[in-house]
């Protein structure tokens, strides 16, 4: 299950959030075996983010945690698409969008542990 957490220094309207959600739902398919059906998203807008000593331009910090994706297959394409989404919907500059990837080796869900070593 992928978990994508979005922090922006600018406000996000409900309409923008819905558009971002839909586009990320499609973009996650760039990572083999991942789909919106298992995607968990979090949005946090109006964060106090500073970049290069300034906070006068909109900034996005995105964390993409992906289960069992240690080879990072599809992450380059996902990075490109996430950047495009935030450029187009929130008018952010490319150099103001940062994406951190995390490989999740285990999830606890539905009362049980799912470990990538059990399945791969």
What's the pLDDT band for 46 if we cut at 50, 70, 90?
very high
27: containing domain: 3-119
Give the total number of structural domains in the chain: 1
Q: Does the structure show a pLDDT above 90 at 30?
A: yes
**What CATH number did the domain enclosing 82 receive?**
3.30.429.10
Q: How many Å apart are CA 119 and CA 107, to the nearest integer?
A: 12
Q: Does the structure show a pLDDT above 80 at 97?
A: yes
- pLDDT, residue 119, reads 58
Tokens of 57: 């331009």
């Amino acid at each position: 299950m992928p978990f994508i957490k979005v922090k922006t220094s600018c406000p996000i309207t409900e309409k923008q959030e819905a558009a971002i959600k839909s586009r990320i739902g499609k973009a996650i398919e760039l990572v083999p075996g991942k789909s919106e059906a298992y995607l968990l998203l979090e949005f946090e807008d109006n964060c106090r983010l500073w970049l290069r000593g300034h906070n006068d331009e909109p900034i996005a910090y995105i964390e993409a945690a992906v289960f069992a994706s240690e080879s990072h297959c599809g992450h380059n394409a996902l990075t490109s698409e996430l950047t495009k989404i935030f450029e187009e919907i929130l008018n952010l500059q490319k150099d103001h969008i940062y994406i951190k990837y995390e490989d999740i080796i285990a999830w606890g869900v539905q009362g049980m542990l799912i470990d990538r070593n059990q399945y791969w």
